[in-house]
Amino acid sequence: MAKYVKKPVEIEAITYEELIKIGHGKPIELEYNGYIIKRYDDDRYIIPTLEGDMLLGKDDMLITGVDGEIYPCKKEIFEKTYEKV
């Protein structure tokens, strides 16, 4: 079995709280990087990803990938995988 390491790529990411600020509160839906994000309940949003809809919660980061795609990531995994530049 071979081992691999991630190539160093720069991504953008925001917290749940930063997303809420962009939406000026907790809107029913908002546009972010060309994607429509819809509120699921008081604490979560539906994020359209390449793999289908996923939920973004208060303890998640919203990542914009190298091709402009968006997807949620748990903060603890994000912190183990990425560092701020």
Dist CA 79 CA 60 (whole Å): 11
**How do strand 12-15 and strand 60-64 relate by DSSP bridges?**
antiparallel
**How do strand 52-57 and strand 60-64 relate by DSSP bridges?**
unpaired
Cα first-last separation, the chain: 32
Task: Calculate what percentage of the chain has a pLDDT beyond 90.
Answer: 91
Mean pLDDT of 41-65: 97
DSSP-assigned letter for residue 73: E
Q: What is the dihedral of CA 72, 75, 77, 83, to 10 degrees?
A: 100
Mean pLDDT across the chain? 95
pLDDT tens for 8-20 read 889 999 999 999 9
